[in-house]
């Protein structure tokens, strides 16, 4: 299981050498594929060879491409890497509705709790109101408290008159952070034999990542907290250091039932608990609790 | 933490040379960086990683020669003093950070 994120923001040639990724710039550096969890390609002049792509699939590395606006717009995932992928796909499609609804309620409740934690950590008002939203979540979130909470929470955090749809730095930063999380989750789902298009709650025909969009919810406030604590340094577009900081959020510690761990490891555990949901009907998902923005200390 | 491997291997006969080449290739393939001639080091993330790579190392040893290994914490490794010479490009570009920027 990899633990490193590699972000490439200058012209480079990537190739495979032995079992390492060789990054050719003025000089060449090597990173063992085994250690890598994520590679972000964030420059127009990056060239890479087929063996690099194939190694990414072999080692289950999430490889992100970014679009003209420098937002991650694609992720390269291994093709049916897991041995029980067809079995899990069937289980995913046949999940009993009450079970899916309970799991969705768990996800929404933890998301709102984490949003509450963001407001508290930023010293904003409205903590009590969000708390009561979290308490009122019932199976399937039929009252759509998720939406109500979000409509209340974003203006509290970023000021009245804030709209998610508006084109501005804050929204670009949020979108970037969410896209990175979503790719990391999609990678975890595929690695554990699940199909990202078949969701618990999200069911859009046009979305290839419905399940990732379910599981991402409790992780989103991590990005919100970072963006709220580190407002724009430049007008308009994200600067390269802004993007690097957003990718580095994968290394921030969150609370899990097993203890404190990096968001990247937490995704792994959350995905495993999701697999148990489908396989054994265990509705207790393991979801992250927001602690702050402390980066995970390597055990070394 | 870092696993550091030091070796002296006999290089007289063809078989001995072959054993050396195979061992060195193993080190490079397993993600070790050459920090000096015959001194290789690998970055490890935690005890599980340490066990895994140490086992692989033990399984790939050549039959003869002298090979030692030592595990040091990242702080101790970073405390290495350069009396003559400079850190390599690879050492500067690929430190213990979880996030690598290129």
Residues A12-71 pLDDT 10s: 999 999 899 999 998 899 999 998 888 888 888 999 999 999 999 888 888 888 877 667
Q: State the nearest Cα–Cα gap between B27 and chain A, in angstroms.
A: 10
Considering the entire predicted model, what is its pTM? 0.76
**Mean pLDDT confidence for B19-23:** 94
Q: Residues 21..60 of A with a Cβ closer than 8 Å to B: which?
A: 23, 25, 27, 29-32, 34-35
Select the residue from A29, A59, A184, A259 to test the B interface by mutation, using most B Cβ atoms within 10 A: A29
Chain A hits for B43, Cβ within 8 Å = 35, 300
pLDDT greater than 80 at residue B52: yes
d(CA A116, CA A99): 26
From the number of C-beta atoms within 10 Å of its C-beta (0-12, 13-18, 19+), residue A76 rates as: middle
- With CB atoms and an 8 Å threshold, state whether B99 touches A5: yes
Per-residue pLDDT, B97 = 76
Per-residue pLDDT, A92 = 86
Q: State the nearest Cα–Cα gap between A214 and chain B, in angstroms.
A: 26
- The percent of residues in chain B predicted with pLDDT above 90, rounded, is 64
Chain A hits for B91, Cβ within 8 Å = none
Residue A7 DSSP class: E
Q: State the nearest Cα–Cα gap between B49 and chain A, in angstroms.
A: 10
Average pLDDT along chain A: 86
Q: Could you report the per-residue pLDDT of A217-234, keeping only the tens digit for each?
A: 999 999 999 999 888 777
**Of A64-78, A103-117, A145-159, B53-67, where does mean pLDDT reach its minimum?**
A64-78
- With CB atoms and an 8 Å threshold, state whether A18 touches B44: no
Per-residue pLDDT, A299 = 58
Per-residue pLDDT, A183 = 84
pLDDT greater than 90 at residue B14: yes
Q: State the nearest Cα–Cα gap between A44 and chain B, in angstroms.
A: 14
pLDDT greater than 90 at residue A198: no
Of residues A29, A262, A299, nearest to B89 (C-beta): A29
Per-residue pLDDT, A292 = 83
pLDDT greater than 60 at residue B76: yes
B3 vs A201: which has the higher pLDDT: B3
**Of A173-182, A261-270, A289-298, where does mean pLDDT reach its minimum?**
A289-298
Q: Angle of helix A263-280 relative to helix A85-93, nearest 10 degrees? A: 70
d(CA A277, CA B22): 46
- With CB atoms and an 8 Å threshold, state whether B98 touches A34: no
Per-residue pLDDT, A82 = 67
B89 reaches A (C-beta below 8 A): yes
Of residues A18, A25, A296, nearest to B102 (C-beta): A25
Banded model confidence at residue A114, pLDDT cuts 50, 70, 90: very high
- The percent of residues in chain A predicted with pLDDT above 70, rounded, is 95
d(CA B15, CA A160): 76
Q: State the nearest Cα–Cα gap between B72 and chain A, in angstroms.
A: 9
**Mean pLDDT confidence for B54-73:** 93
CB atoms within 10 A of CB A111: 26
Q: Can you tell me whether residue A190 is helix, strand or coil?
A: helix
Strand ranges inside A12-96, DSSP E = 12-17, 20-24, 28-32, 36-41, 46-48, 62-66, 72-76
d(CA A172, CA A174): 5
Q: Residues 60..79 of B with a Cβ closer than 8 Å to A: which?
A: 73-74
B91 reaches A (C-beta below 8 A): no
Per-residue pLDDT, A300 = 53
Residue A251 DSSP class: G
Chain B hits for A6, Cβ within 8 Å = 100, 102
Q: Can you tell me whether residue A58 is helix, strand or coil?
A: helix
Chain A hits for B102, Cβ within 8 Å = 6-10, 12, 23, 25, 29
Per-residue pLDDT, B46 = 82
A261 reaches B (C-beta below 8 A): no
Per-residue pLDDT, B13 = 94
Token pair 């009122």 is found at: A136
A211 reaches B (C-beta below 8 A): no
B101 reaches A (C-beta below 8 A): yes
Token pair 């061992």 is found at: B23
- With CB atoms and an 8 Å threshold, state whether A6 touches B90: no
Per-residue pLDDT, A80 = 60
């Amino acid at each position: 299981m990899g633990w490193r994120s590699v972000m490439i923001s200058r012209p480079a040639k990537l190739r495979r050498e032995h079992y390492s990724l060789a990054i050719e710039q003025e000089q060449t550096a090597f990173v063992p594929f085994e250690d890598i969890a994520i590679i972000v390609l964030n420059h127009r002049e990056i060239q890479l060879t087929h063996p690099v792509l194939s190694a990414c699939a072999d080692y289950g590395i999430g490889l992100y491409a970014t679009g003209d606006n420098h937002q991650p717009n694609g992720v390269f995932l291994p093709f049916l890497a897991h041995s029980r992928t067809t079995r899990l796909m069937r289980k995913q499609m046949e999940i009993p509705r009450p079970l899916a609804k309970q799991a969705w309620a768990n996800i929404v409740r933890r998301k709102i709790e984490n949003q509450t934690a963001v407001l508290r950590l930023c010293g904003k008002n409205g903590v009590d109101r969000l708390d009561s939203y979290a308490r009122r979540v019932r199976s399937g979130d039929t009252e759509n408290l998720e939406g109500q909470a979000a409509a209340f929470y974003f203006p509290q955090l970023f000021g009245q008159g804030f709209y998610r749809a508006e084109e501005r730095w804050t929204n670009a930063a949020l979108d970037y952070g969410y896209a990175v999380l979503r790719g990391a989750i999609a990678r975890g789902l595929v690695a554990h034999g699940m199909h990202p298009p078949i969701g618990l709650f999200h069911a859009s025909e046009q979305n290839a990542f419905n399940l990732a969009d379910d599981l991402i919810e409790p992780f989103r406030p991590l990005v919100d907290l970072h963006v709220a604590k580190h407002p724009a340094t430049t007008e308009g577009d994200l600067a390269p250091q802004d993007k690097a900081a957003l990718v580095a959020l994968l290394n921030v510690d969150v609370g899990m039932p097993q203890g404190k761990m990096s968001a990247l490891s937490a995704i792994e555990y959350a995905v495993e608990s999701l697999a148990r949901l489908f396989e054994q009907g265990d509705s207790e998902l393991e979801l992250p609790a927001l602690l702050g923005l402390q980066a995970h200390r390597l055990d070394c | 933490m870092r696993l550091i491997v030091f070796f002296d291997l006999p290089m007289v006969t063809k078989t001995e040379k072959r054993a050396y080449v195979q061992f060195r290739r193993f080190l490079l393939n397993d993600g070790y960086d050459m920090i000096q001639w015959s001194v290789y080091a690998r970055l490890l993330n935690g005890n599980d990683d340490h066990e895994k790579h140490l086992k692989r190392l033990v399984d790939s040893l050549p039959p003869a020669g002298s090979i030692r290994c030592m595990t040091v914490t990242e702080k101790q490794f970073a405390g290495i003093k350069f009396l003559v010479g400079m850190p390599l490009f690879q050492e500067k570009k690929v430190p213990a950070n979880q996030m690598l920027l290129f």
